[in-house]
């Protein structure tokens, strides 16, 4: 039996209270110490340029979604080209002219970006991202790379599903729990599959009053943070709360956040804590 790969879901997403280019680069460097990171920086610049002025339903710049998806796949150990595709996976929704991505970051990245939308999940072999042995996904096939970006995109969208209209939440959650979560598990990404399942179940099976109370408490705590950072930390905290199995663990988590929020608030207000921008 092949060893199962365990995907780390969070580290690169936690720099400065949200996703950051520095966090993504650090995750890539950890798996590919000799990699030329200039390609990722160029892809980030393209994403920042073409998504400028676009916002998510949360009010965050759309670029934060691109960075979050890139951070998830970077933590999985994929090569820089796949991280670039994650950064640019929604560029077709911008005025970016055809052929520009290929000229800027190369034809392979452009092909990945195109196939993230063009290839249907059913066309990807069930073996998905299962490597030959335990360890990072340093050499994914083309289909594996596409699947990695698709799963990471859905995972971040599920982490932020609270901002989606209630009428659409149920359909997205049902598709995720029936299609994406099993696909992630079949691909050997047990941790991702579990989080996709738990986030979907939280939508399909309304939380008990105790859970709702904990979520409200976390939302109130974000009011202590700088206004520009609140949505991102609310997203992070609610996503973590959603996967905690018992009332006790949720209570402990809220208490840890409560004790750490004053220090976090001060840190986020210090000069030099802003995210790196091109």
Say how many C-beta atoms besides its own lie within 10 A of residue 248's C-beta: 9
β-pair partners for 55: 61
Q: Where are the alpha helices (DSSP H) in the chain?
A: 21-31, 38-50, 63-75, 80-87, 100-105, 107-118, 142-159, 166-175, 181-186, 190-204, 209-221, 230-242, 247-269
Report the phi/psi class of residue 208: left, alpha or beta, with left for phi > 0 and alpha for psi in -120 to 50: beta
Question: Given CA atoms 182, 236, 5, 67 in this order, what sign does their dihedral have?
Answer: positive
- Write out the catalytic residue numbers: 92-93
Cβ distance 83 to 73 under 8 Å?
yes
Q: C-alpha angle with apex 25: 188 to 89, nearest 5 degrees?
A: 65
């Amino acid at each position: 039996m092949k060893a199962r790969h365990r995907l780390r879901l969070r580290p690169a997403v936690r720099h400065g209270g949200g996703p950051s280019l520095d966090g993504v680069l650090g995750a890539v460097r950890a798996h590919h110490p000799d990699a030329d990171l200039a390609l990722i920086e160029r892809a980030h610049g393209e994403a920042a340029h073409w998504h400028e002025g676009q916002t998510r339903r949360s009010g965050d710049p759309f670029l934060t979604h691109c960075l979050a998806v890139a951070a998830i796949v970077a933590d999985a150990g994929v090569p820089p080209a796949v991280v670039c595709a994650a950064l640019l996976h929604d560029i077709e929704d911008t005025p970016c002219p055809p052929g520009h991505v290929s000229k800027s970051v190369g034809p392979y990245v452009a092909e990945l970006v195109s196939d993230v939308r063009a290839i249907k999940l059913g066309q990807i072999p069930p073996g998905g991202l299962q490597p030959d042995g335990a360890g990072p996904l340093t050499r994914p096939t083309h289909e594996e790379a596409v699947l990695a970006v698709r799963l990471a995109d859905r995972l971040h969208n599920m982490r932020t599903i609270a901002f989606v209209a209630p009428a659409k939440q149920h359909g997205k959650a049902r598709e995720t729990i029936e299609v994406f979560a099993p696909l992630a598990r079949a691909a050997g990404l047990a941790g991702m599959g579990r989080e996709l399942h738990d986030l979907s179940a939280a939508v399909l099976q309304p939380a008990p009053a105790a859970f709702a109370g904990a979520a409200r408490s976390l939302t109130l705590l974000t009011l202590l943070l700088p206004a520009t950072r609140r949505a991102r930390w609310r997203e992070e905290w609610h996503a973590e709360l959603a996967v905690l199995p018992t009332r006790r663990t949720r209570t402990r988590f809220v208490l840890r956040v409560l004790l750490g929020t004053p220090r976090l608030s001060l840190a986020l207000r210090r000069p030099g804590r802003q995210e790196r921008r091109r």
